[in-house]
Structure formats: C-alpha cells, structure tokens
A and B are shown apart, each in its own frame.
Chain A
Amino acid sequence: MTNHWIDIKNSDCIIIMGSNAAENHPISFKYVAEAQQNGAKLISVDPRFTRTSAKADIYAPMRSGTDIAILGGMIKYIIDNNLYNKEYVAAYTNAPFIVGTDYKFDDGLFAGYNKQTRSYDKKKWAFEMDANGVPKMDRSLQHPRCVFQILKKHFSRYDTALVSKISGTPEADLIKIYETYSATGARGKAGTIMYAMGWTQHTVGTQNIRTMAIIQLLLGNMGVAGGGVNALRGESNVQGSTDHCLLWHIWPGYLATPSASNVSLAAYNKARTPVSKDPLSANWWQNYPKYSISLLKSFFGENATPRNDFGYDWLPKVDDGKHYSWLDLFDEMYKGSFQGFFAWGQNPACSGAHAGKNREAMKSLDWMVNVNIFDNETGSFWRGPGMDPARIKTEVFFLPAAVSVEKEGSITNSGRWSQWRYQGPKPLGNSRPDGQIIMELGNKIKAQYKDGGVFPEPIRNLKWDYLTKGEYDPHKVAKEINGYFLEDVTVRGTVYKKGTLVPSFAFLQADGSTSSGNWLYCNSYTEKGNMAARRGTKDASNNIGLYPEFSWCWPVNRRIIYNRASVDLKGQPWDKAQWVIKWDGSKWAGGDVPDGGWPPLGSYENPNPKSRHAFIMRKHGHGQIFGPGRADGPLPEHYEPMECPVEKNLMSGTYTNPTAAIYGTKADVYKTCDPRYPFVGTTYRLVEHWQTGVMTRHQPWLLEMQPQVFVEMSEELAELKGIKNGERVLATSARGKLECTAIVTKRLKPLKVSGQLGSVVHQVGFPWCYGWQKPESGKEESANLLTPSTGDPNTRIPETKAFMVNIQKI
C-alpha cells in the first residue's frame, strides 16, 4: 500500500476491483464502513457478486481478465471529460515528457518487439533529452509526442461500447462507475483502489495495476489521504517477506539480484544506479552503492573488505535473461533439474498454479524438507491421490515449526507497518521458531565446510551470530537489519561511535563503515530502541489516523508515501481538511513525515532551485504515466487471457500478451476457444479459510462453516447443464479435474460478450483452500489442479484468475 489500512476511512470513493476485501481482508471493512458512513461511495467490480459486492453502492459484473479494457475506458472518460487534475498532472507526472520518435504502437504491439524472443527492445520507448540530458517537457501537454497526447491517443480506442463488448459489463454500469470514480479528480477529493490477487494473477497482472496507477495520477490521487494504490497483501507478513527478499530477483530493500554480466561490485553498482542530469530530481536511487555495500557488510561482517569487493563474488548471480520464479522453479523441477527442495511455510501441492504438474515435479526430487506447523499435501505428496509410494524415490524430512504466536519478532502489514510481537505460549513439543531452525541449519552447513568443500568462501565468511545462549535472538536480527556503524563515522559534523545503531538510511555509507541488512528498515531499531514495538496511540497534528507513534513504518516512519504530491506547487494541501503535510513558508509543519524535506517547487517556469520533484524514487522525479521499464509495454493494453472464450481480441490484432510467460513441457497444455472447455473459470479464497487451508482445515469451527470445495455458477448455467444446487459435479480443464459441490446462485450471471463461442459467456468460480489431507474424506481437492502455468512477464505471477473449464454432472 502507498497508504495504509486506517487511511481508507479518509476516502471519498473506494473502488474494490481484483479483490474481495470483505472476505479476504475482513478487518479492512472497519475502515471501508467508516468511509461509507462519512458519505464515501463503494464500487465493487467482480466476475462474481461477493460479500464485498453485498456492501457496495455500485456493483458491476465483468468477464475475468478484462480489467484493462474497463479501466482503459475510464482513462478515456477522464480525458474526454476534462476530469483530471491539470496542475497535478503537469507538475508531478511524466505527462509532459516528450517520447522519442522510435516509439510506436500498432495493432496491439509496441515498437521493438522481437517475435523469436517474445520480448521488447525497450530502448525504442526512450524519452527525448535536451542538451543537458534532462527529459524534454511540454508542461502545456500539447506536444503531439508528449506522454499526455500519446496516452490520449492510445486510449481513444477504449470507448464504452467496445469495452462493454469485451468485458460483458453493461455500458450503463461502466458509465456509472466512471462518473462516480472520476469525481475524485476534483480538488480536495480522494479516491482509492483496494486490489489484490484478482489483479496480479493474470498474464497482464502488472499492467492491470499500471492502468489504475495512471488513473490515480490523472485524478491527483497519489500521495493524498484516502488515495493511493493499495495492494492488499495476501498474507499478514507478505509485505515484510517481500521487503526482505522473498523473491528471486531482489535483494533486501528492493536492490536487484546481480546478473552474471555484473562481473564486479563496481559493474553491479554502475548497472543498477540510475543517473539523472536534472538538478531538480532527487533520484533517490543514486544512493544505491551505500545500500548494497552496507548489505554486503551485514552479510559478511569483517570478512567483507574493499580488497575483496565486500564479498560480492561470493554471492550467486542469475543468468541474464533467465527467470527463477515459482513457475520457472517448478518447470525446472518437473524437468528433473533439482535434487533437493525446501518447502518452507508453503504448500505448493495445493497453492501453485497447475498443482498436478507441481506434484508430478516433486517425484523427481531426491529429498524434500517440509517446514510447517502441520504436515500438508506437499510433505505427503508421495502418498497423495494417484501416487504410488513404492515408485517414488523422494525422501521427505518434516521439521515442525512454531506458530506465529509462539515466537517473538516482527511482521510487516500491507500498510508497511513493522509491528513487533511478543511471545505468547511456548512452542509445543519439538517445534521451533523458523529463526532457530535456520540458525541451526546454518551452523550445521558451516561445520560441513570447515575443512573445505566446493566454493566454501560464502559459507565460511558468512556472519552468523544471531544466537543468545544458544537460542535464536530476534532482537539481534532486527538490529542487524537496521544496521550499525562499524567504525567511528562523522556525518554533518557529528561523530557516530563504532558499534552504535544507525539512526536512518541517510547515514549509510558506501565505504564499508556501516552495515544494514535492509536499508529500507534503517531507522526501525535505533539507539532510541525498537521502533516497531511502540504502541503510542496519539494521532499526528492533522488528525487523519496516521498514529505515528504506533509501531514503525518504512521508509522512516512515513505513513503515506509520495506525500509531497498531496500539496500544490506552493506547498498547500489539495485537501484543506484532510491534509497530509503542508508548507508554512519556511518548513513542512505537522502531519506526516514529508517525502524529503525540500521546499515546494513554487512554479515550474521559475522553480526554487532548492526544491526536488515529488516522486523521489523515480529517476526523473515524476509519477510514471508512461512506464518504459515494463516488459510488456510502456502503456497498458488489453490482451485476452492465455485461455479465453473469445476467438479474437476486439481491441487489436494481437490476441494475448505477446510477452507472457509460457512453458513447454508435456504437462503445459493451454486450450483456448475449445468447445470441450467452454466456461471461464476463476479461483479465490474464503474468509473462513487461510490460503491452502493448512492452518484452517484442521480447525473444526472453520471447517464447519466451509466444509467442502465448491463451484459457484449461475442459475442459467445450472439449468443448461441440468445441475441442481448442492449436488456434486465434476469440473475439468485441459490439465486436471476437480470434484466439487455446486452452488447455484444469482450472484453469477451469464455475460453478453461479442465474438464468443455461444451467445453468452458463463463464468464459474472455485475456492482454492482445500486439499486431499483434510477433511479426511480425501475428496476435497485443490482448485489449482485446474489452473494453468502461464503468467505475467514482469512478475511471473501465474494466471489463475482466468482459465477455461467444463462442468458436468457426475
């Protein structure tokens, strides 16, 4: 979230799309309800009428996978009707930037597409620079090649009639949504988006979010209270784990994992550190080497020296152009590339797209270590349905882990709040905190490498001192994450003593004199104490629910990021009542921690040279309406899902995302417009179960409420297939089958869509929170047996929200 949970209450209009917040983030509805009671409108757009839709002022159905068409229509509506915040757009976004003459968009393809590699040459999308190397701009937004004019032209095709034909959303509903949401472009109004996996789990997932980000920039909704682009994270600590490099392509703090071509630390830092020639651009990532070198010092301690590139050579590099995401890992496992696998706090036999392929892949392993609070379908895959244990070689080790309340440490919520938790009950039996398991594992591996081994340096040189009296010490880890001065360091005339904690990332150095396990968290555990453990309930002076003394939020306790865009060029808030920060003539006074302390710009004709552009994390300091860094284009474009019910893309001659991740094993089958799989399928969670249900299917009270896997379908489809409410049916896709209970409901409706197989499109939905181990009947299986292994080209997140299935009576 750019904003945070409580801030939802400040909104004037909330659109929930790609999310079912009432069911999957139930506490969020405390703030949604509060906003509604204050007069906010709630819009729910979803293939299925959900418990979120039940609370909405406006609900509209849609065909799964057509979000960009719907939102693209909103962009057109905003521009056609002059509803954007012109001052904001001209000052804070890259709408005025001039795009180079190489840029083209033709029939669904952007310039630079290479059919063989299924990728783009992004150089074709570059901005035009002036003699000083600063992007050329036209703040009047009139230049034919300025971003604003390109945007306008690009989305001119997205008229509501066409969008309706693609999405199946009635035109009247579209217009009502556009009108209601666009009203937040007015000064002092704020609109927010709450999205989740309903947007990310598509072959156009990243661009779904980009489309909304463009809307938020046009309406001036970024940086303001009650605005922002708000990702509702799927697990309580998924924000924290992403911050601390859960994903293959990033190191802690969103530093890049080095590639093989980054042959030295200097080459790595040069390749990753953006350079801006604009004196008004803060270009915060120019500090990159301070963060990467402080991280290496944290990894290797005294063993990291300038002479050995701070141990850079000891860390693994990824091959240029190769992907190592979830889909790719299981693809490789399926091909037999791995000997061993740690399944730590996860259940890929049920959670991963194309679960059948994943289960098959596990058979190729020599060993698996399953770390979890319960055994699950992954650890027991060898005795699951269709498996012959006698023919499976995999040796599985189960390490029982302590549950969250049995251990001390922090979790970081969607709003970027790092919240310290104390230990409740002690772990049961021989179960241990994850930290303890990792520490012991590290010590055992270190012992193995004591007398040699292949490439022992990374293991031997690793700093591994987070035990206190033999026990994992979360405070030692939290302090390491914050970082230390490793020698006496003088910053702006003050001496910071060796061994003390670094006050914030502004003090980190690129010479090895500081450490920080994650620069974004530098300021979370300082000489003043553990900031995440704070529980102050006093609000800030602007009284908008920031609660700055409760826990701690990255970066530097800033609760609403990009907040310098919440004011006009003179530093005065767009919204006088619910202001975030404001300039009193000499300083930012009260409210949130400003996104950099520089004074306001004044005017862009005659800017204050001491000022810096508002979007400090962008190289050129502007919010990116035009985003030339993405794999699939600088602007969003509607493409059909990899499996879809329509023979052509009505928006262009390019049918599906031309850069989508696809896989080629015999298990990877995709069937589009195939009469054997005529219905659109989608998956989701339930408030009663958690993820694959490992934590909840063992809990009788929760199983009582949602005891069985089901398929939801419209009354019309049920009649067509002769299916009665509550009876067991069989769902099939090109990849697998699933027995489930039919819920026949008014909450799904057939949609009128152009160019489809029949006269209407039927959609069905499945919860994915079941697995064969529990309930004990063994009949309630994972809906991911149906889903495909294809995904977004930027994130490689699988497309489990739109695929094709059939439903039949058993």
Chain B
Amino acid sequence: MSKSFFIDTTLCTACRGCQVACKQWHDLPAEETTNRGTYQNPADLSFDTYKLVRMSETVIGGQLRWLFFPEQCRHCIEAPCLETAGDPTAIYYDEPTGAVLYTSETRNLNAGEIKSSCPYNIPRNGPEGVLAKCDMCYDRVQAGMEPACVKTCPTGTMNFGNRQEMLDLAHKRLAVLKRTHPEAMLLDPDDIRVIFMVAYDHRLYHDFAVASNTNHGISRQVALKRMLRPLRHLASHLL
C-alpha cells in the first residue's frame, strides 16, 4: 500500500530535529550560513537541504503567532516534475511507497523546466545540474522503518504510514482543530503524499504551502510531451 505523511503544524515547536535528521540520514553537508535576523536557517531549500522548517511571525486577530512549516517535497500523486522529465531513468515513482525519486540522470534534464514545473517550488540543482529533494527515506521505508524526520520528531507533528491511515488521522485531527480554529485546513490532501494541516490561512505559513499558480504545474510543453510519449516509446522499440 502506498505511503503518506501527515504533518500537524499545530504541534510543531520548530525544534528542527527533522531538519538535522534529514541531513544526517542523507549525509548532506552543512551550508555556510549567517544569522540574517531570523532563526530560520538555511534561508531556503537547496541541493544540500531537503527539509527546512520555515518560520514566520505574524499577528492574527491581535495575537502574535509564530508559525512553523516543516517543508519538504510533497511526493505528488501525479507529479508534474516526473511528467515534465518524461524520463524514468531520471525521475520515477518508487512503486511500493509512491515516493517520487530523482536519480543522477537528472543531470541530463532541463533543470529550469523541472523546477518551474513544481507547484511547490521544491527541486534544487547542484553544480552539475543534478536535481535533488526529499526522497521519503525510501531506503528506510523499504526496510520497515520510518523516514528519519518522522523518527526524530518528539511532538507528533511528523507522522508517516499507509496512505489511508494518514488520511484518516488527518481528517480526525482536522475535525478537532476546527472547533477552535475555523480556518483550519488540510493542504491539497487528495493530490499529494505529504499532507500538512494548518490552523490559519496557509499563505501566512509559506508562499508555496499549497500548489501555486505562479509555478505552472503542467505546462503546454509538458502536455505536448505527454501526447508524444507513446510515439517516442514506439520509435525507440522500432529502433
């Protein structure tokens, strides 16, 4: 059965254990950072940072709120990046988990095109054009373990399991939260495998908290590629 995350931002304390656990499991180097007048660091996702706790201070109804958004790839059920690439040696679905996985073959893709296809602004490229992002710790998951970020989370913010269980948990928790926070919602739960729950307007957390129109999703170019793909497959067989 395919997997999903449920991320309850109302429980997140921004301890950033998830951010470090991700770097540790993937053996990613630390970036050179400076304090830019905020706790959030690094400033953004990068080739070396797949998980980032975003922080924003905002006043809602006269009350100060410090909102935390532990962001990562959403592992779309129909992933525009995968569609755009059209190359299963570069971007493919891990069948057992549903994870959208990038390989080193992504260096042959048009990085700009892949990045702009993502409605959540996730993929980042390295110096040689290889693209990188969260891989759902699919190696851990295949070995029966939770992703590193979920394993380390002390508060119950990060949850992972079979998709239906996560959806059930998300809807159950949403029903409770709605009683005190009528604006509460799940973000794009039907389209993605990383389901965030927020208590306030999602725009207060992050520009790309929900699928964004500024990034295109599937462009005309992608649609064209998709139409042509059967022909290309046919052509490669014939050759």
Contact = CB atoms under 8 A, between A and B. Distances in A.
A52 B32 CA distance: 28
A196 to B, nearest CB: 16
Interface string A670-709: 0000000000000000011000000000001111111110
B13 A706 contact: no
Contact of A54 (B16, B35, B65, B176): B65
A30 B156 contact: yes
Interface in A519-544: none
Contacts of A602: none
B13 A55 contact: yes
Contact of A743 (B11, B14, B24, B37): B37
B15 A744 contact: no
Interface stretch (B38-46, B120-128, B134-142): B38-46
Contacts of B112: none
Contacts of B35: 706-708, 710, 726, 741, 743
Contacts of A701: 20, 23-24, 30
B174 to A, nearest CB: 13
Given A30-B155, A701-B20, A704-B30, A54 B37 contact: no
Contacts of B68: 54
A173 B88 CA distance: 59
Contacts of A37: 176
27 contacts: A23-B13, A26-B17, A27-B154, A29-B11, A29-B13, A29-B155, A30-B155, A30-B156, A49-B66, A54-B68, A701-B20, A703-B30, A703-B33, A704-B30, A704-B31, A704-B42, A705-B19, A705-B20, A706-B39, A707-B41, A708-B35, A710-B35, A724-B37, A725-B38, A726-B38, A743-B35, A747-B57
Interface string A734-751: 000000011111110000
A688 B59 CA distance: 26
A33 interface: yes
Interface string B1-38: 00000000001011111011001100001111111111
Contact of B15 (A22, A59, A700, A743): A22
B56 to A, nearest CB: 11
Given A725-B37, A743-B38, A746-B57, A705 B64 contact: no
Contacts of A700: 29-30
B33 A26 contact: no
The 9 closest A-B pairs by CB, nearest first: A726-B37, A700-B30, A725-B37, A704-B30, A54-B66, A22-B13, A708-B35, A26-B15, A741-B35
Interface string B69-111: 0000000000000000000000000000000000000000000
Contacts of B59: 746
A741 B37 contact: yes
Interface string A26-54: 11011001100100000000000101111
Contacts of A34: 156
Given A51-B15, A54-B68, A701-B20, 7 more contacts: A26-B13, A29-B13, A51-B13, A688-B16, A700-B29, A705-B16, A706-B39
Nearest to B21: A701
A53 B13 CA distance: 10
B199 to A, nearest CB: 11
Given A33-B11, A704-B33, A707-B41, A51 B66 contact: yes
Interface string B218-237: 00000000000000000000
B182 to A, nearest CB: 17
Nearest to A50: B66
A706 B42 CA distance: 9
A751 to B, nearest CB: 14
